A and B are shown apart, each in its own frame.
Chain A
């Protein structure tokens, strides 16, 4: 399983493909579920020009690794990855990708959703939005 924090824009599809090629044996998996989160140019009715994503170096990686381990204790998937941006982000850029590989679709779908929801509620990241009205820290997540 792999956790990557990226301070530069990344292509989530390339990340998924590279992880799959490097970590999974051809023929071993029958299902791959992928979630990609992308930065919007609006939030709660306000225009958002850019985003700054703060994290807690050390704890953020550990918590993401714990989330993957917790997910694997619940579902018998083969492998999983998370890549997440930190720092300055522009609208349209990917923020996060979660990929899960399993023998059958149930484990991949369910674990991917669970990992993403766990990330939203547990992983130490904080968003600060900049827009026409200035800067503001995002105080809560939008409902899933």
Chain B
């Protein structure tokens, strides 16, 4: 029973989190997961994905989901 949380790029370094698992109990949305992991409100510039699909702060989460947080993308 866990939600896998991943961070990338500058967020990974700032929070020193590559990948962790959190208890899904009480976590209903992407924003809840961020608050659970960081203790802060989800900043507007942070992007998120649930199971590798782009998500929003209000996107629902459930057990066994993979929730990722990352800064604006800079490929190409």
Contact = CB atoms under 8 A, between A and B. Distances in A.
Say if A and B assemble together.
yes
A73 B52 CA distance: 22
A29 interface: no
Which of B70, B72, B75, B76 has the most CB atoms of chain A within a 10 A radius of its CB? B75
Contacts of B71: 126, 137, 139
Interface residues of A, number: 28
A140 B72 CA distance: 7
Contacts of B49: 56, 59, 124
Interface in A121-135: 121-128
A103 B6 CA distance: 43
User: Which label, helix, strand, loop or mixed, suits the secondary structure of the A interface?
Assistant: mixed
B52 A121 contact: no
B73 A123 contact: yes
B38 interface: no
Interface of A: 37, 53-56, 58-59, 62-63, 84, 95-96, 116, 119-128, 137-141
